[in-house]
Structure 1
Amino acid sequence: MLLPWEYGVRNLARRPMRTALTLIALATVIMLVFVVVGFIRGLERSLAISGDDDVVLVYSVNSEENIENSSIAARTPSLLTASLDDTWKRFGVVHVSPELYLGTRVKTHDAVSGLGLVRGVTRTAPLVRRGIRLVEGDWPSAGEVMVGKLAAAKLGTTAEAMAIGKTLEFEGAIWTISGLFSAGGAAFESEVWCNLADFQTATKRQDLSLVAMLMAPGASLAEVSLFCKERTDLELRALRETDYYATLQQHYKPVRVLAWFVVVLVSGAGIFAGLNMMYGAVAGRIREIATLQAIGYRRRAILLSLVQEGVLLAAAASLLSGLIALTMLNGMAVRFTMGAFTLEIDSVAVLIGCGVGLLLGVLGAVPPAVKAHRESVAVSLKAV
């Protein structure tokens, strides 16, 4: 015969202070799990949606996977368009975007200085970067920039400091913010975009970092790769944009593995914390447990009742942490080496967070309950 369901619920209410402390401790542990899993999911999502399968990147073969270190000749875009027929053309406009991309120290209007990612582009950039949407303001003209909606997080400043009309200082020049753009969560959102010619003048460079090409439907990467191999004097390589961000996924794999290891460590710490608190809770109820055995309840029924209490507390803590994570943490911007991205509290994060919470409830309650049943009923009834 099992103990009534209400018995375990009443036991939780009978010790409100201990119940509240246990609930807060479990909720804190589960919240840490939500933060770490949200970090992993946000990083993976940002890299996964950044690439366009129809876009081919042409950059220096010596830069490996770091386009910031790439340097190619300024005549490369014209050579590519003159030699290749697979580039998308519409209304006589070739969809090719020459770009100068580098990390540089950026100082904001409120005197905050941080390492920012600046991309010099031309008017053809939106034709190739099809996920870019101008949310507010205008496309930058001479001496102006437009900023991604996560650029403030990347620089460690406030959104007000990156508002339209404010100024930024980098590469020895003052730039006025003319617009705000979004990219659907892609890595571009942490960047600052400006006019290519102005950026080349400010950096005293006439070269480019890369050329982004939007390929026509059915076009193959092979023709672009063949051009790069034939023109050995240019030292170019061609890579589909999705493949480039896939290599970044592999580059950041150790970070993701370390983050999952942190999830395991946090969960283990939570289990030991739960064990400690449950041992304290059961130790004060030895006579109660012995009395239940004396009146006819089996040890299995009492064990299930104690596990029920732990699971109820863990479930409440999981719901509380999940609510806070979805309302306050979801979408929070995080700075990273590649730029910035948002915490992603999606269905996977909720499943893992709540699963860890319920696991804490079960594993934290079973060992203390088993230990309490080792003593005989006669000895337990005399316990103080």
Structure 2
Amino acid sequence: MLLPWEYGVRNLARRPIRTALTLIALATVITLVFVVVGFIRGLERSLAVSGDDAVVLVYSVNSEENVENSSIAAQIPGLLTASFDGAQARYGIQHVSPELYLGTRVREAGGKGGLGLVRGVTTAAPLVRRSVNVFEGEWPAAGEVLVGRLAAAKLGVESESLAVGKVIDFEGESWPISGRFAAGGAAFESEIWCRLSDFQTATKRQDLSMVALLLQPGRSSGEVELFCKERIDLELRAIGETAYYGLLQKHYRPVRMLAWTVVWLVSGAGVFTGLNMMYGAVAGRVREIATLQALGFRRVAILLSLIQEGVLLSAAGSLIAGFIALTMLNGMAIRFTMGAFTLRIDSVALLIGCGVGLSLGVLGALPPALKALKAEVAVCLKAV
């Protein structure tokens, strides 16, 4: 015969302080799990949505996967369009975007700032970077910049510092902000865009970092790769944008593995926390457990009742942590080496976080309950 369901619920209410402390500890542990899993999911999503299957990147073969170190001649875009007819064109405008991309020190009007990512572009950039959407302000005029919605997080400043009409400083010049853009969570959102010619003048460079081409339907990046291999004198490399960000995913694999390790460590710490709290709870109920056995309740029934209490606490802790994660953590901007991205508390993160929480309730309650049930009933009845 099992103990009534209400028995376990009433036991939690009989010790409100101990129950509250256990609940807070479990909710804190599960919230940490949500933070780490949200970090992993946000990084993976940012890299996954940054690539466009129809876009090919052409940059220096000597820069490997680091486009910031790439340097190619300014005439490469014209050479590509003259030699390769696979790029899309509309109304006589080639969908080819020459770009100068590098990291530089950026400061807002108050003097605060950090290392920012600046991309010099032409008016062809929105034709190639199809995910970019200017949601506030307008396209930059001469001497102005367009900032991504996560650029403030990358610089470590308040978002109000990069509002439309504000001024930022980099490369020894002041740049008024003409607008802000989003890119559906892509890596571009942590960048600052300005006119290519203005950026070349400010940096005293006439070269480019890369050329991005939007291919016609049915054309493949392999054709551009073949052109780069044939013109070995140009020392160019071509790669599909999706494949490029796939390489970055492999590059950040150790970071993701480290994050998963943190999840396991945090979960392990939570198990030990639960063990500690449950050992204390069971130690004070030795006579109660022995009395239940003397009344005829089987050990399995008592064990299930103790596990029920642990699961109820962990389920409540999971609900509290899930509410905090969805309302306060989801969408929080995180600064990273590649730029910035947002924590993503999606269905996978919720499943992992709540699964860890419920497992803490079972694993935390099981060992102390088994230890208490192994003791002799007569001895426990005499315990103080």
Tell me which residue corresponds to 2:8: 8
Tell me which residue corresponds to 2:19: 19
Amino acid at match of 1:368: P
Matched residues in 2 for 1:212 and 1:280: separation? 63
Tell me which residue corresponds to 2:263: 263
Tell me which residue corresponds to 1:374: 374
Task: Summarize deviations over 1:331-353 as a string: whole Å, max 9, x none.
Answer: 00000000000000000000000
Question: For residues 22-33 of structure 1, what are the structure 2 equivalents within 5 Å?
Answer: 22-33=22-33
Amino acid at match of 1:112: K
Tell me which residue corresponds to 1:114: 114
Question: Alpha-carbon deviation of 1:222?
Answer: 2.3
Amino acid at match of 1:304: L
Tell me which residue corresponds to 1:62: 62
Question: Alpha-carbon deviation of 1:102?
Answer: 0.3
Amino acid at match of 1:311: V
Structure 2 SS opposite 1:233 = helix
1:133 maps onto 2:122 in alignment: no
Amino acid at match of 1:288: E
Structure 2 SS opposite 1:65 = coil
Amino acid at match of 1:70: S
Task: Summarize deviations over 1:288-318 as a string: whole Å, max 9, x none.
Answer: 0000000100000000000000000000000
Question: Alpha-carbon deviation of 1:229?
Answer: 1.1
Give TM-score, length-normalised by structure 1.
1.00
Tell me which residue corresponds to 2:191: 191
Matched residues in 2 for 1:238 and 1:90: separation? 23
Matched residues in 1 for 2:220 and 2:307: separation? 60
Matched residues in 1 for 2:188 and 2:220: separation? 25
Matched residues in 1 for 2:383 and 2:12: separation? 22
Question: For residues 290-369 of structure 1, what are the structure 2 equivalents within 5 Å?
Answer: 290-369=290-369
Structure 1 SS opposite 2:73 = coil
Matched residues in 2 for 1:226 and 1:11: separation? 73
Matched residues in 2 for 1:15 and 1:358: separation? 21
Matched residues in 2 for 1:190 and 1:113: separation? 14
Amino acid at match of 1:270: G
Matched residues in 1 for 2:225 and 2:32: separation? 46
Large movers: runs of 4+ above 6 Å: none
Structure 1: runs of 5 or more not aligned? none
Identity of aligned residues (%): 76
Structure 1 SS opposite 2:181 = strand
Structure 1 SS opposite 2:50 = coil
Matched residues in 2 for 1:97 and 1:133: separation? 16
What is the number of equivalent residue pairs in this alignment?
384
Matched residues in 2 for 1:107 and 1:229: separation? 41
Amino acid at match of 1:278: M
Matched residues in 1 for 2:378 and 2:252: separation? 60
Tell me which residue corresponds to 1:155: 155
1:214 maps onto 2:214 in alignment: yes
Matched residues in 2 for 1:320 and 1:221: separation? 48
1:98 maps onto 2:131 in alignment: no
Amino acid at match of 1:40: I
1:38 maps onto 2:38 in alignment: yes
Structure 1 SS opposite 2:81 = helix
Matched residues in 1 for 2:222 and 2:18: separation? 67
Amino acid at match of 2:277: M
Structure 2 SS opposite 1:49 = helix
Superposed CA RMSD: 0.5
Question: Alpha-carbon deviation of 1:258?
Answer: 0.2
Structure 2 SS opposite 1:193 = strand
Question: Alpha-carbon deviation of 1:272?
Answer: 0.3
Matched residues in 2 for 1:226 and 1:311: separation? 60
